[in-house]
Amino acid sequence: MINNFCFYSRYGNGDLFNSRELVRYMVLYSGIASSYFYSHAKSPDMFSDIPRLIPSTMHEFMTDKVGFIKGEHQDFYMNTWIGRENKFVLPGIGCTLDNYLLMFNDILKKASLPEIPGETDNFIPDIDYAYYPIQPARDWVAKNYHSRMVLICNGNAWSNQAFNFDFSPIVKLLVEKYKDIKFITTERIDFLAENLYFSGDIVQKSGQDLNEISFLSMFCDIIIGRSSGPYVFTQVKRNFDNPNKTFISFTYHKNSSSLLDEKVETKAKLLWSPATKIEEVYNKIQEVI
């Protein structure tokens, strides 16, 4: 029996998000430890909907180079960063849920611990938004539910999976042409329009608001981004199960366009484009609209 089981990762919000249901399974159902912690440098409310998982800080001994560390007093530390071994990352920096499951079980097997049972589609992220301050977003949606909505995750990608072209001129063209659609950006744009909104003004949360943007995304018909930051957090089961939902990911390689590979069926449409020029990106979005 392990005393304290600690997951850890030095990397981005998306790295933490992608394997969240594997972590949830281990905390709630594995029964291998008395207490569970997650050490990372991101928001302490990242996993508020997994109440038994206690947020913790990173320590120097938590190295990227190993899958796990056995500590004193029956403590166990598990490295959740998928980039530790190239064999789990597809060409084009593709980090898929299927390979997260393989990596977790590879670590558990080597540590002589019970592996995680089940298929990949059992571990698609499924946030319990009741643990997050979503009321402002809920109120905004209630006032605007009659409109078509498009969420544009226009922040930069930080893992070299996509070219960081400027979304601003594309957003400007879209809001001017489709005045009956409400466009929401996750980074503030330096111009105003009646049908243009900033997610921060809707969510009204200080600090990291990725889980709240994820909630907002459930009411958007189209979700656009670069497989980084807020776009990653929109890849939840309720969105993938919605046949009226379309994702458009602009990345260098199709492998990095989605958390789910082609083996996992979804009702939502998952579209990919390598376009980087303003006209090409704009035309691709127009096709979908």
Instruction: For residue range 107-118, list pLDDT tens digits in order.
Output: 999 999 999 999
For residues 160-180, give the mean pLDDT: 94
- 139 and 11 in a common domain: no
Q: What is the mean pLDDT of the chain?
A: 95
Dist. CA 268–CA 93, nearest whole Å = 23
Q: Tell me, what CATH number does 242's domain have?
A: 3.40.50.2000
The per-residue pLDDT for 92 is 86
Q: Which of 96, 123, 150 is the last residue of a domain?
A: 123
For residue 183, the surrounding DSSP H or E stretch is: strand 181-185
Q: Which of 88, 123, 158 is the last residue of a domain?
A: 123
pLDDT digits (tens, 9 = 90+) for 11-39: 999 999 999 999 999 999 999 999 999 99
- 225 and 149 in a common domain: yes
Range of the domain at 220: 129-288
Total domains in the chain come to 2
pLDDT digits (tens, 9 = 90+) for 242-260: 999 999 999 999 999 999 9
pLDDT digits (tens, 9 = 90+) for 261-271: 988 999 999 99
The CA-based dihedral angle spanning residues 22, 23, 26, 28, taken in that order and rounded to the nearest 10 degrees: -110
- 279 and 141 in a common domain: yes
- 137 and 94 in a common domain: no
- 151 and 99 in a common domain: no
pLDDT digits (tens, 9 = 90+) for 235-246: 999 999 999 999
- 208 and 101 in a common domain: no
- Helix axis angle for 168-177 and 278-288, nearest 10°, is 40
- 155 and 97 in a common domain: no
- 173 and 248 in a common domain: yes
Do 109 and 117 form a contact (C-beta atoms < 8 A)?
no
Does the pLDDT value for residue 158 go beyond 80?
Answer: no
The CA-based dihedral angle spanning residues 104, 16, 186, 249, taken in that order and rounded to the nearest 10 degrees: -20
- 86 and 139 in a common domain: no
- 116 and 200 in a common domain: no
The per-residue pLDDT for 176 is 97
- 107 and 182 in a common domain: no
Site of tokens 């029956």: 74
- 134 and 116 in a common domain: no
Residue 135 burial by Cβ neighbours in a 10 Å radius (0-12, 13-18, 19+):
exposed
The per-residue pLDDT for 192 is 95
Do 74 and 2 form a contact (C-beta atoms < 8 A)?
yes
Q: Which of 123, 154, 180 is the last residue of a domain?
A: 123
For residue 99, the surrounding DSSP H or E stretch is: helix 97-110
The whole-model pTM stands at: 0.96
The per-residue pLDDT for 72 is 85
The per-residue pLDDT for 227 is 86
